[in-house]
């Protein structure tokens, strides 16, 4: 992000200038002649002036960033870093610089004792060093750990750090000062001065190393994941500013009320929904390892459902669906999570939260009523960053009870990136090359596009106007035609249904840039297939915030919310489960330290996403669809429903949902690599009790 980059440059330059000023101040009392004192003082004043100017520029950029992106983007910086830099700088500007300017040339040689004493005041050099350390810590924060939502402890921490690092310079400054006070001349030989500087440097470095090592050891320890946890840690909960819940002891938590407490709570395992009716449709899915060849011949060592790439389950809305999952040989165990499908909690397929992981030889039966129609997909939620990438996913299509529009052709396109024996290859299913499909003139075609890759993807559809009929399984009201120069983008896990009428010329669907030759695509043609696909770079990008008619929905930006949550997405260098990692954080923390969001059934809940980090994050909430209300602080023209909202760096969104599906639900980044190092939190209904445990003891590893 531009703001971060500017801040890094400015704070690094400030560190160098303030540090130079500190050294210049420390050698001021060494002046043996008036000329040298004046020269040293003038140099110091210039350097300090430049440093102050640069600091002012930095403050202005922060104000500008606040105006442009919003307070939430700068809050952490303003609360933790600005006081740290402003205090020493203010002291320098208000008291140190006037004192230095007042150092008069008395005409005597050597310089007057009073002038040397004033120059040797420890507060002079220490204030410059403090300014340098504060700027240095700010630069460090911008690169490694931007402060977000700082608590008092986090604010105090940096002050303590600066104070500790000033200890050695303070001892040296005081020694100099006492010497000058006693009227002794400071040592003047170059060697002696160098020795002095080197020993001060070495001692400070020792202090810094001790701090660093203890910080690392503490970080490694604190980041270790517990062997077992039910995620009911009462220290880390967030009630979104709403009414107190059982989790915070808001309701009765007195032991004598225990029976009572149990009576009005419900266990996750019991949240199956009403599935007493026999199933209308049943499937058996066997998780198994399989070598699979892509269309190009490249081979993947896949982990599959039923030995296939993206098997498709097609059911009718209203059906009771039963899916028996059998694990043949995936050692770490598997599950099926119905991505975006709002099943009852016990059917959500998250190991350790909604079921135990299915080990080899074991099975699990999912049974739910298919209430929502549309394009969905499913995948294993056990160590998903490994399992989904290797192929443990499939397609779920729920045909509407009553089809209002009919399509002559339906094509499901699920794109993924495979690791093959010939390197990484992107593909539609297993088709990693262009495919040709004949369609009669005037027929309507519906493409169900699913992005099963960890990153967002761009798609081009050229040769015809088209409409985006559904987003994440939810129909758009009155979608207007888009020109074939419009590209669209899907975040990881997201789905669009796209429809067009076959014209008398070929239509091309392509993943990624027009010029990128290696990506897959489909050519639709009527009579004679074109020799090769022809595509151009797009001239517009589809924007769901201004398309069709707004969803008819209970929530609007003006609604009264029962709870409001904030998710600031950031990045930092840190530890996860005892290992050093580049981390993607939520509110400055990674799982399990990200608080669980607690709601009560029926609550109207608002969540604000703010992406301060350097990457996009497709934020996925299980069990609910979110209505997007605002983007970058402005109301969107057409609020839309989504289960996976891609938040780009520098963007903010406000979304809302009704807490109408009790349970404990994951809310995480669907870049599964990010989730695997802790970009995960949980949404907990306060009357729900866990049934399972997460961790190495149970083998339930949901990320």
**Residues in touch with Cu ion (CB under 5 A):** 584, 617, 669, 671, 674, 679
Identity of the residue, 22 or 663, whose beta carbon is nearer to ligand C2O in the bound complex? 663
Residues in a beta bridge with 606: 564, 656
Identity of the residue, 118 or 679, whose beta carbon is nearer to Cu ion in the bound complex? 679
DSSP string computed for 51-112: HHHHHHHHHHHHHHHHHHH-HHHHHHIIIIIHHHHHHHHHHIIIIIHHHHHT----S-SSPP
Closest approach, Cβ 476 to ligand C2O, in A, equals 22
With beta carbons less than 8 A apart as the criterion, state whether 447 and 509 touch: yes
Identity of the residue, 321 or 336, whose beta carbon is nearer to ligand C2O in the bound complex? 336
From the list Cu ion, ligand C2O, none, pick the one residue 671 interacts with, judged by a Cβ distance below 5 to 8 Å according to partner type.
Answer: Cu ion
Q: Is the dihedral of CA 574, 579, 583, 586 positive or negative?
A: negative
From the list ligand C2O, Cu ion, none, pick the one residue 670 interacts with, judged by a Cβ distance below 5 to 8 Å according to partner type.
Answer: ligand C2O
From the list Cu ion, ligand C2O, none, pick the one residue 674 interacts with, judged by a Cβ distance below 5 to 8 Å according to partner type.
Answer: Cu ion
**Angstrom distance (rounded) from CA 442 to CA 463:** 14
Closest approach, Cβ 451 to ligand C2O, in A, equals 11
From the list Cu ion, ligand C2O, none, pick the one residue 622 interacts with, judged by a Cβ distance below 5 to 8 Å according to partner type.
Answer: ligand C2O
Closest approach, Cβ 617 to Cu ion, in A, equals 3
Q: Which two tokens stand for residue 320?
A: 């009771």
**Edge-first strand listing for the sheet containing 596-599:** 237-238, 596-599, 680-685, 664-669, 617-621, 644-647
The candidate with the shortest Cα–Cα distance to 233, out of 213, 220, 248, is 248
Closest approach, Cβ 510 to ligand C2O, in A, equals 25
The candidate with the shortest Cα–Cα distance to 493, out of 671, 341, 640, is 671
Residues of this chain that interact with ligand C2O (CB under 6 A) are 337, 339, 379, 381, 493, 620, 622, 666, 668, 670
From the list ligand C2O, Cu ion, none, pick the one residue 339 interacts with, judged by a Cβ distance below 5 to 8 Å according to partner type.
Answer: ligand C2O
Identity of the residue, 246 or 381, whose beta carbon is nearer to ligand C2O in the bound complex? 381
Identity of the residue, 4 or 691, whose beta carbon is nearer to Cu ion in the bound complex? 4
**Angstrom distance (rounded) from CA 486 to CA 540:** 5
How many residues would you count in the chain?
A: 703
Radius of gyration of the chain (CA): 31
Identity of the residue, 237 or 353, whose beta carbon is nearer to ligand C2O in the bound complex? 353
From the list ligand C2O, Cu ion, none, pick the one residue 666 interacts with, judged by a Cβ distance below 5 to 8 Å according to partner type.
Answer: ligand C2O
Identity of the residue, 641 or 675, whose beta carbon is nearer to Cu ion in the bound complex? 675
Closest approach, Cβ 309 to Cu ion, in A, equals 25
With beta carbons less than 8 A apart as the criterion, state whether 305 and 285 touch: yes
Q: Which residue's Cβ has the minimum distance to ligand C2O? A: 339
**Left (φ > 0), alpha (ψ -120 to 50) or beta: where does 231 sit?**
left
**Left (φ > 0), alpha (ψ -120 to 50) or beta: where does 17 sit?**
alpha
Closest approach, Cβ 489 to ligand C2O, in A, equals 18
Closest approach, Cβ 580 to ligand C2O, in A, equals 26
Identity of the residue, 369 or 379, whose beta carbon is nearer to Cu ion in the bound complex? 379
Closest approach, Cβ 493 to ligand C2O, in A, equals 5
From the list Cu ion, ligand C2O, none, pick the one residue 617 interacts with, judged by a Cβ distance below 5 to 8 Å according to partner type.
Answer: Cu ion
Q: Which two tokens stand for residue 290?
A: 């399989």
543-568 burial by CB neighbour count: b if 16+ within 10 A, else e?
A: ebbebbeebebebeeeeebbbebbbb
From the list ligand C2O, Cu ion, none, pick the one residue 493 interacts with, judged by a Cβ distance below 5 to 8 Å according to partner type.
Answer: ligand C2O
From the list ligand C2O, Cu ion, none, pick the one residue 669 interacts with, judged by a Cβ distance below 5 to 8 Å according to partner type.
Answer: Cu ion
Closest approach, Cβ 381 to ligand C2O, in A, equals 6
Identity of the residue, 158 or 337, whose beta carbon is nearer to ligand C2O in the bound complex? 337
């Amino acid at each position: 992000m531009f703001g971060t980059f500017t801040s890094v440059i400015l704070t690094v330059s400030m560190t160098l200038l303030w540090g130079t000023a500190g050294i210049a101040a420390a050698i001021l009392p060494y002046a043996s002649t008036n000329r040298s004192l004046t020269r040293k003082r003038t140099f110091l004043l210039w350097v300090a002036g430049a440093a102050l100017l640069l600091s002012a520029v930095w403050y202005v950029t922060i104000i500008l960033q606040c105006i442009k992106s919003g307070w939430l983007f700068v809050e952490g910086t303003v609360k933790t870093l600005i006081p740290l830099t402003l205090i020493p700088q203010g002291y320098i500007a208000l008291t140190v610089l006037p004192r230095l300017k007042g150092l008069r040339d008395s005409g005597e040689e050597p310089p007057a004792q009073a002038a040397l004493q004033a120059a040797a005041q420890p507060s002079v050099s220490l204030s410059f060093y403090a300014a340098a350390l504060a700027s240095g810590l700010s630069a460090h924060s911008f690169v490694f750990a931007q402060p977000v939502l700082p608590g008092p402890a986090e604010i105090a921490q940096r002050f303590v750090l600066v104070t500790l690092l000033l200890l050695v310079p303070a001892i040296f400054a005081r020694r100099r000062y006492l010497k000058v006070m006693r009227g002794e001349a400071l040592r003047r030989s170059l060697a002696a001065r160098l020795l002095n500087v080197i020993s001060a440097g070495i001692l400070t470095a020792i202090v810094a190393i001790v701090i660093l090592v203890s910080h690392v050891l503490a970080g490694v320890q604190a980041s270790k994941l517990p062997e077992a946890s039910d995620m009911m840690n009462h220290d880390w909960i967030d009630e979104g500013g709403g009414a107190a819940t059982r989790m915070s002891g808001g309701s009765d938590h007195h032991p004598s009320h225990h029976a009572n407490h149990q009576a009005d709570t419900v266990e996750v395992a019991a949240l199956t929904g009403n599935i007493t009716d026999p199933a209308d449709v049943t499937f058996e899915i066997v998780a198994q390892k399989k070598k699979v060849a892509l269309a190009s011949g490249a081979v993947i060592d896949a982990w599959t459902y039923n030995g296939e790439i993206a098997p498709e389950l097609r059911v009718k809305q209203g059906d009771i669906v039963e899916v028996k999952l059998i694990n043949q040989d995936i050692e770490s165990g598997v599950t099926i999570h119905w991505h975006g499908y709002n099943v009852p909690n016990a059917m959500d397929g998250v190991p350790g939260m909604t079921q135990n992981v299915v080990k080899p030889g074991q099975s699990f039966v999912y049974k739910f009523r298919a209430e929502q129609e549309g394009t969905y997909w499913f995948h294993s939620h056990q160590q998903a960053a490994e399992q989904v990438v290797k192929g443990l996913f499939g397609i779920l299509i729920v045909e509407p009870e009553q089809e209002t529009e009919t399509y002559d052709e339906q094509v499901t396109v699920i794109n993924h990136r495979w690791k093959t024996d010939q390197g990484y290859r992107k593909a539609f299913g297993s088709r990693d090359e262009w495919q040709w499909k004949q369609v009669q003139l005037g027929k309507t075609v519906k493409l169900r596009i699913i992005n099963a890759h960890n990153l967002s993807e761009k798609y081009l559809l050229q040769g015809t106007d088209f409409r985006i009929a559904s987003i994440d399984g939810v129909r758009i009201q009155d979608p207007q035609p888009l020109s074939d120069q419009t590209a669209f983008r899907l975040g990881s896990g997201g789905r669009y249904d796209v429809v067009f009428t076959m014209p008398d010329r070929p239509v091309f669907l392509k993943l990624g840039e027009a010029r990128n030759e290696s990506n897959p695509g489909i050519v639709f043609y009527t009579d004679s297939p074109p020799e090769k696909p022809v595509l151009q770079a797009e001239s517009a990008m589809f924007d769901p915030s201004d398309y069709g008619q707004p969803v008819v929905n209970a929530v609007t930006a003006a609604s009264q919310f029962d709870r409001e949550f904030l998710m600031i997405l950031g990045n930092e260098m840190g530890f996860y489960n005892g290992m050093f990692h580049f981390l993607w954080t939520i509110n400055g923390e990674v799982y399990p330290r990200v608080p669980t969001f607690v709601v009560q059934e029926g609550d109207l809940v608002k969540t604000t996403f703010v992406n301060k980090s350097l990457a996009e994050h497709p934020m996925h909430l299980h069990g609910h669809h979110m209505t997007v209300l605002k983007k970058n602080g402005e109301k969107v023209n057409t609020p839309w429903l989504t289960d996976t909202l891609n938040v780009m760096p520098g963007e903010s969104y406000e979304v809302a949902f009704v807490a109408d599906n009790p349970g404990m639900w994951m809310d995480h980044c669907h870049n599964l690599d990010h989730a695997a190092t802790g970009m995960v939190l949980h949404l907990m209904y306060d009357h729900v009790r866990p049934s399972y445990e997460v961790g190495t003891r149970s083998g339930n590893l949901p990320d």
